[in-house]
Amino acid sequence: MKDIFEQLNQLPKGKLRLKPEMRLRFLLYRKMIVKDFSKFKILFVSHSVMRAAIVMVLILPIVVAVPGYAYASKGVVEGHLLYPVKKAVENIELSLATTEEKKSETLDKLAQRRFAEAEVISEDLINNDKKEDVLVKTIQAGVALNIQSNILKKVTEEENDKKVKAEDPKAKLLENVALNVGIKRQEKVVDTVAWALENIKNNKYKNKIKKNSFEDMASTTKEEVRLETEEMTTSTQEVMFENNKNTNNGNNKVLEKNNPSTTNSRFEILKQEVKDLKNYLQSEGFVEEEVDELSEKLNNKIKNSENAQSKNNQKEVEDILESAETLKNNAKFFMKKTDKNNGQGNGNSNNNSETSKEKSNNGKAKGKNK
Amino acid sequence: MSQNRLYLKYYKSYRDKIYNYFLYRVAFNQMIAEDLCSEVFLRAFDKFDDFDKERSFQSWIYAIAHNSLCNYYRGANREVNLEEAEHYSLENFNSISNSIESQKIIEKIKKLDGYSREVLLLRFVDELSNSEIANLLGKNEGAIRTQISRALNILKSEITDNYNI
């Protein structure tokens, strides 16, 4: 008999068969892979909130950057791909303004933005004449917003005057637009810029507008305000002229205008004023060619209004005379000075705008006295 | 060496030992032994990060195997029918071993009390040291040594009796 120890040590030993061994090995490898990837499990989380958070983090830069760029960039003007985004952001901004004062501030800011866009468009105008319509539309929208802002603010005459004296940045932008546009541009464009300048710089029409017409508009939804602001731009001018005619606020000039019997004398006064302006601009050293162009444009307007007068179309006469006077008052902003008179060359007429304006006003006063 | 590679190394060394451990304790039913063996290595992998590398892997893996076996028998309807166990053992034993002497000695071991049988299997089939057996069974080493000696004496006398008959 073998030794008991030997017998026990020789007891048979089982061995794991190949198939279960492979299965176990596979399960182990799978566990190992899962374990290694669990270090990056934040990327494979099934929790919906976490997944949403990750997606948000990835999308956020796009969501913020695109509207941010659209809103902040002056270069995003009408016709640009991102312009609707810019408008949407502006609408949100407007809707966030709860009080009338805030709303007025926002509208003022938006008006300024429109004029800044107009400045960008006007710089491009030399290369692309097709942008003239866009420029007109943008300026009109800016003026409409400015009017709404003033109505909500309930500005008084005194405040208006103060504001004008304090150099409204919007006026500065429009002066640049006028200089970029130049006097030789299409009549429609020149007239619109002159009208906007008159509106912003002199606040000529602001307090003469029937308040309700714009208050109603301001109380509608932002989208409608925006649409109306743009649509009404053409009618704004009419509304304003209409109100000019109808307002009985003691302004002798308006009364004078409304009286058909005095229209002929208005033609004469205007003609004289155009002559005075031409002389003044020439003496100030503005480019001769441009002064002639201005003079021709103004004389054409007077001629057209005389024709309308002969047809007894009083409304047209008034419109043309208004636009002529507006252009006359703001003519200097469209013109460039010659180099010999101004060493710094083009675009510096604004430096002398205050003094030239005063002189221009003196010229006008003289004309009226005559 | 990475944790995974270290574990695979241990796995290669111990897979057959653990399988054998179960084989002797589930009446040589290979299927059950394979399942239990898989379960042990998968569970051990999950806990491997907590395993103290200063300790013996052998003691650790046998402890897990011991727990798995306890759980297996604790489960419902896992009471081993003695006749069935006998049947399994004989049937499977024939396929494993062709040694008549080994067959006889297994028969004798089966007849020992549970504690003696477990100690002998751990010592001679699983080839654990006395201290490892003591650790696994929660006894002291001296008691294990005594128990082995006592079990061997019983086994010896059984075999001698058989020869005498």
Categorize the per-residue pLDDT at B11 as very low, low, confident or very high, splitting at 50, 70 and 90: very high
CB contact under 8 A, B16 and A14: yes
Identify the pLDDT of residue A220.
37
Chain A residues within 8 A of B102 when measuring between CB atoms: 7, 10-12
Distance CA(B121)–CA(B83), nearest Å, equals 21
At residue B8, the pLDDT reads 93
Nearest to A28 among B11, B28, B99 (CB): B11
Residue B12 distance to chain A (closest CA, Å): 10
Mean pLDDT computed over B99-117: 83
pLDDT in tens, A331-344: 878 877 776 544 44
CA neighbours closer than 13 Å in the CB half-sphere of residue A133: 2
Cα–Cα distances in angstroms (integers) from residue A276 to residues A273, A295, A329, A367, in the given order: 5, 10, 12, 7
- Per the CB < 8 Å rule, is A28 touching B45? yes
pLDDT at residue A190 tops 80: yes
The pLDDT, as a whole number, for residue B147 is 92
Q: What is the pLDDT of residue A256?
A: 47
Q: Which of A153, A154, A46 lies closest to A106 in space, CA to CA?
A: A153
Q: What is the pTM of this model?
A: 0.46
pLDDT at B47: 92
The shortest CB-CB distance from B15 to any of A1, A5, A21 is to A21
Cβ contact, residue pair B20, A8, below 8 Å = no
- The pLDDT of residue B95: 52
Integer Cα distance of A88 and A66 in angstroms = 12
Residue A303's pLDDT band (cuts 50, 70, 90): confident
Q: Among B1, B2, B3, B4, pick the best mutation site for testing chain A contact (most A Cβ within 10 A).
A: B4
Residue among A322, A198, A323, A329 at smallest CA distance from A254: A322
Nearest Cα residue to A192 out of A337, A334, A361:
A334
DSSP for A170-224 reads HHHHHHHHHHHH-TTS-HHHHHHHHHHHHHHHH-TTGGGS-HHHHHHHHHS-HHH
- Is residue A121 within 8 A of residue A180, CB to CB? The reply is no
pLDDT for A285 beyond 70: yes
| pLDDT of A241 over the 50 cut | no
Other residues' Cβ atoms within 10 Å of the Cβ of residue A295: 18
Q: Answer whether B151 touches A (CB < 8 Å).
A: no
pLDDT at A224 over 70: no
Whether the per-residue pLDDT at B12 is higher than 90: the answer is yes
Distance linking the first and last C-alpha atoms of chain B = 59
pLDDT tens by residue, B84-106: 555 555 555 555 555 677 778 88
- With vertex at residue A253, the alpha carbon angle to CA A248 and CA A256, rounded to the nearest 5 degrees, is 85
Alpha carbons A177 and A165: distance in angstroms, whole number: 20
More confidently predicted of A245 and A7: A7
Q: Flag the least confident range among A119-133, A187-201, A227-241, B48-62.
A: A227-241
pLDDT-derived band at B1 (thresholds 50, 70, 90) equals low
- Are B16 and A27 in contact (CB < 8 Å)? no
User: With an 8 Å Cβ cutoff, are B124 and A13 in contact?
Assistant: no
Say how many CB pairs under 8 Å bridge A and B. 77
Q: What is the average per-residue pLDDT within A51-73?
A: 82
Query: B122, B128 in Cβ contact below 8 A?
Result: yes
In eight-state DSSP terms, residue A43 is G
| Interface confidence (ipTM) of the complex | 0.84
User: pLDDT band for position A43 (50/70/90)?
Assistant: low
